[in-house]
Structure 1
Amino acid sequence: MTQATAYQKIPGILMALSSAIFWGISGTCAQFLFEEKNLDPAWLVTWRLIIGGSILILFSLSQERKAAFSVWKKPIHILQILLFGIVGMVAVQFTYFYSISLSNSATATILQYIGPVFVVAFYAVKNRTWPITTEYLALILALSGIFLLVTHESFDLLVISKDALLWGILSALALAFYTIQPVGLLRLFSPAAITGWGMLIGGFTFSIFTQPWSLSGLWDGETLLAFAYIILFGTVLSFYFFLRSVSIIGATTASLLCSVEPLSAALTAVFWLKVSFLGIDWIGTILILITVALLTWNKKDKKARPVEI
């Protein structure tokens, strides 16, 4: 790599890191809203999807004009985007936020990051191929990281509730589905349009059950700031920065750099909300981050995937 090329990639690297940090901090903002302001996770998810989806559709329209509606032309694509919005988008958002409400943003984010292990398992079954050595190593590291994180090396003790562990694993499974299901759509349409429509569909569908028109929790200046951060920085700007970074440094490098998201969630939870995070928790976190790095670096085909929001 020449010096000029290296300098040209610096903006992409900074954007990828910024998007990951924004995502991580948004999880801690959600924890703050749940613990301090008594907001309901389902209510917050509904409005995040509706407002974030609306902004992303407007962004797509400004960039692509009529092409933003292309996904609605064929019945097969309509079915796929409806499935992505109603099942994929709602599931990945609600399981993650509910997991935060049961534990904390650091633990929930780290547990969700074992999702790539399930993606590898899915493609191994689908393609009828055994995982390679790197993938076996990633699985061992992921299981070791989870064990340390939720038990602190004790076989008869959980340091988080069983419900928190269950919803954390469900969050990882939802992330795997969210990653795999829309691959075909993302080969044909822009990530902005697919993610935006998915969020809108999911938000309006979920609103049938959550009654978002009724305010949830205590609303004051702090609530507004945390809510605005989740929408603007944790959704819109993080999405835009990630897409821009992919165009500059490529999807694999951008995804690898986004592995700092759990670290940003952990650090902000520890220093802002005073979450107890011991040395053994950091070791478990590092093992799971190494898992993500191994699986990302090992990708041989750069399949399109939705951004993580």
Structure 2
Amino acid sequence: MPQQRKRGIYLAVLGSIFWGVQGPVSQWLFTDTGIKPEWLMGVKMGLSGLFLLAYALIQQPKAVFKVWYQPRDVVRLLIFAVFGLSAVQYFYFLTIQASNAPTTTILQQLGTIMIIIISLIVYRRAPSHAELIAVIIALLGTWLLVTKGQLTRLAISQTALGLGLYLGFSGALNTLIPGKLFQKYATLIIVGWAMLIGGLVFTIIHPFWIDVPPLNVATIGSVLFIALFGTALANLCFLGSLRYITPTTAGLLNTFEPLAATIGTVVFLKTSFNVWEVIGGLLVISTVFILSFAKVKPK
């Protein structure tokens, strides 16, 4: 395997693991320390945005502020920051709070299915055979996941399921909204500004200096891990991997997210899962492989 491809694979896997592990860390913060998702959102997005923009200033200082000179692009950036990047991360935290990290990370994979549905409704683009198969498998896997194999009764609350669907939908918007921005500007810069804007919005909603949670070494370390590793470095590693491997390969490696979340939850939070939940999770994750292989298949 060429050295550059190896580097890309390592970066993609590392980014997925960072994002996945932040799930159980967040779950611990919500259940054991009383930290509010709104407080954590303001702190972690603000710190992540500052970190990414500082890195961008070192890499390409002349390009960092260009987006602010184009009014239409400023509007797109604000919409992406609020309804895309902020929404998906906020619903991620809310779904963790209502269920657990592995379930949340698997429900997040439904964003790909939401994109197919949105494309059908908005763009009148009929799904391919592979996409239809992926939708059916994802729905079956989700049903097993939320019922634990008892098909007539929900094993998670209706609130958790509803938030999981919002999470998938906001994940789809997070993918669809910024397309034109990424064509004109570096992804790192757009994500950095969107993070900072999201951090400012949630700081207005819940100022970080009001109702400060009990801060000790474990709490501060967990918050910094979520901000720097689970958010900023997770994005940097994923974006960096695209210099060496294709988006399809990176998408396949993205399945390390629920794996990392599950291992972290079982090891550190002592959460157990039955066989039906495992099968359901694997079915949802398998849709990534189905869609990725379908994209590279010759016409």
| TM-score of the aligned structures, taking structure 1 as reference length | 0.92
Give the match for residue 137 of structure 2.
141
Does the 8 Å contact 2:52/2:232 carry over to 1? yes
Give the match for residue 110 of structure 1.
106
Does the 8 Å contact 2:99/2:156 carry over to 1? yes
Q: Over aligned residue pairs, what C-alpha RMSD do you find?
A: 1.5
Q: Deviations over 1:171-194 (max 9, x none)?
A: 110100011000110011111111
Q: CA deviation at 1:129?
A: 2.6
Question: Which of residues 53, 64, 83 in structure 2 aligns to 1:87?
Answer: 83
CA distance in 1, matches of 2:251, 2:232: 17
Give the match for residue 37 of structure 2.
41
Superposition pairs of residues 213-224 of structure 1, within 5 angstroms: 213-224=209-220
Q: Deviations over 1:128-157 (max 9, x none)?
A: 232111001000110011101000222331
Give the match for residue 63 of structure 1.
59
CA distance in 1, matches of 2:247, 2:152: 41
Q: CA deviation at 1:215?
A: 4.5
Give the match for residue 233 of structure 2.
237
CA distance in 1, matches of 2:198, 2:41: 10
CA distance in 2, matches of 1:272, 1:297: 34
Give the match for residue 172 of structure 2.
176
The more displaced of 291-300 and 273-282 is 291-300
Superposition pairs of residues 16-55 of structure 1, within 5 angstroms: 16-55=12-51
Q: SS of the counterpart of 1:95?
A: helix
Q: SS of the counterpart of 1:249?
A: coil
CA distance in 1, matches of 2:212, 2:106: 27
CA distance in 2, matches of 1:64, 1:142: 41
Q: Deviations over 1:27-67 (max 9, x none)?
A: 11100101111111111111111110111111111111121
**Residues 165 and 229 of structure 1: CA distance in aligned 2, closer, same or farther (over 3 Å):** same
Superposition pairs of residues 282-301 of structure 1, within 5 angstroms: 282-299=278-295
CA distance in 1, matches of 2:81, 2:292: 25
Does the 8 Å contact 1:38/1:216 carry over to 2? no
CA distance in 1, matches of 2:186, 2:47: 19
Does the 8 Å contact 1:103/1:160 carry over to 2? yes
The more displaced of 23-32 and 156-165 is 156-165
AA paired with 2:152? D
Q: SS of the counterpart of 1:248?
A: coil
| TM-score of the aligned structures, taking structure 2 as reference length | 0.95
Does the 8 Å contact 1:114/1:292 carry over to 2? no
Q: SS of the counterpart of 1:284?
A: helix
Question: Which of residues 4, 9, 12 in structure 1 aligns to 2:5?
Answer: 9
Q: SS of the counterpart of 1:129?
A: coil
Does the 8 Å contact 1:256/1:297 carry over to 2? no
Following TM superposition, the consecutive aligned residue runs of length 4 or more in structure 1 with deviations greater than 4 angstroms are none
CA distance in 2, matches of 1:36, 1:214: 19
**Residues 216 and 166 of structure 1: CA distance in aligned 2, closer, same or farther (over 3 Å):** farther
Does the 8 Å contact 2:251/2:288 carry over to 1? no
CA distance in 2, matches of 1:272, 1:14: 24
CA distance in 1, matches of 2:293, 2:122: 21
AA paired with 2:30? F
Give the match for residue 185 of structure 2.
189
CA distance in 1, matches of 2:153, 2:215: 37
Question: Which of residues 188, 191, 197 in structure 2 aligns to 1:201?
Answer: 197
Unmatched segments (≥5 aa) in structure 1: 301-309
CA distance in 2, matches of 1:30, 1:48: 11
Does the 8 Å contact 2:149/2:277 carry over to 1? no
CA distance in 2, matches of 1:108, 1:125: 26
Unmatched segments (≥5 aa) in structure 2: none
Would you say 1:273 and 2:269 are equivalent positions? yes
Q: CA deviation at 1:270?
A: 1.1
Does the 8 Å contact 2:147/2:155 carry over to 1? yes
Give the match for residue 162 of structure 2.
166
CA distance in 2, matches of 1:86, 1:237: 21
